[in-house]
Structure 1
């Protein structure tokens, strides 16, 4: 804490995830292809800067985001592409935390996460498939300080 009410800090976290997205293309009810992207875990390393009023902290945060994704592309019922990879990107957001006691606090936090885009398929004849892993999160939390 500095300049009376300003607070600066860092946070790192990692969590299992079940985020996923899929797209299906069909013609006259016949599926042509199906694509899935699943995020297996998400981690962040962020800086936080906030302003404290008594036991309440309002802050902004931003930094590195990383996660493991799996992409699957199925054409005519046959899997033609399946790849798992670790991706890196960035995150930015804001939060509010309130200390109930010196050891217990609760809060909520919003974040926008962007792990970038990747070409999944490029057949060289004009057919390309690309994923773009970007999403919003909103979480509530309870902290206990030892």
Structure 2
């Protein structure tokens, strides 16, 4: 990501240089534009656990509760943008923009332990999360230090498809209540409990960037956005054979997704 940020900074500097040197004709920013972008994203998240029934409570009480986990996400993203700008005088611009990006941003983490009555039975609790795609609808406010260079801030609504999963892995049978409740995980190794879920999460976004108008109808941009999406959860259900009780489960709660993005883009303005 540090390399990507350096590339974005270089692209912004290269875009700005001709404008300050007076090499391009004055540009009128009013109009509809469409374009494409590519870049990268990075984030960090965490997960916590809670039992859903007495059997899971017994497991957690015996020391089988997974410790909270934290993990990082990163990946490449890219997509399209569509917007409208209205130039106000020679120095200011207002507008609205919508974008939609496919995303390869993903990450995973795990915690482990040993639950008390079964000191020879360690467990591992891995989790995974990914962002398949996201989009934003934003207002833009820009300042024109020259007629061809725009510095802008932007904020608005964000949404995205977030997928998460988790498991509680051991290959050892265990029981509670004097054997009244028994789970045999030996035949379903490695996962004794597992679950996954997905949702279209909503939230907000804010950021800013530089945009340079070149030729007659083309714009080159470098942009940073912070995208905050609501957290999700999944239910991890027992996979092993149970005896003496109904199947058990516990909840795996993921924190809010705070995605940082750095992108470069190219747009065409219609007249």
Q: Shorter-normalised TM-score: what interval? A: 0.7 to 0.9
Deviation at 1:23, TM superposition (A): 1.5
Give the whole-Å Cα distance in 2 for the aligned partners of 1:72 and 1:122. Answer: 8
Distance (Å, rounded) in 2 between the aligned partners of 1:145 and 1:71: 39
**Given the two structures, how large is their TM-score scaled by the length of structure 1?**
0.87
In structure 2, which of residues 244, 250, 257 is the aligned counterpart of residue 133 of structure 1? Answer: 257
Check whether the contact 2:234–2:251 (CA below 8 A) recurs between aligned residues: no
Residue 127 and residue 66 in structure 1: after superposition, are their counterparts in 2 closer, same or farther (change >3 A)? closer
- Determine the structure 1 residue equivalent to 2:98: 12
Find the partner of 1:86 among 195, 200, 203. Answer: 200
SS at match of 2:231: strand
Corresponding residue to 1:72 among 133, 156, 165:
165
Give the alignment's Cα RMSD to 1 decimal. 2.3
Q: Which has the higher strand share?
A: 1
Note if contact 1:121-1:130 (Cα within 8 Å) is conserved in structure 2.
Answer: no
Q: List alignment gaps of at least 5 residues for structure 1.
A: none
Question: Which among 50, 54, 57 is matched to residue 147 of structure 2?
Answer: 54
1:11-36 CA deviation, whole Å, 9 max, x = no partner?
101011011121111248x6511111
Structure 2 unaligned residues grouped into runs of 5+: 1-86, 115-121, 170-189, 238-249
CA drift at 1:131: 2.9
Q: Which structure is higher in RCO with an 8 Å CA cutoff and minimum separation 6?
A: 2
Deviations 1:45-64 (A, max 9, x none): 00000011210000000001
C-alpha distance 62-16 of structure 1, shift in aligned 2 (>3 A): same
Maintained 8 Å contact 2:108/2:127: yes
Distance 1:117 1:49 in 2: 29
Distance in 2, Cα, partners of 1:136 & 1:98: 23
CA deviation map 1:75-117 (0-9, x unaligned): 1132622111101000000110001122111010001110022
Greater helix share, 1 or 2?
2
CA apart distance, 1:138? 0.5
SS of match in other structure, 2:90: coil
Q: CA deviation at 1:3?
A: 4.0
The separation in 2 between residues aligned to 1:69 and 1:23, in whole angstroms, is 16
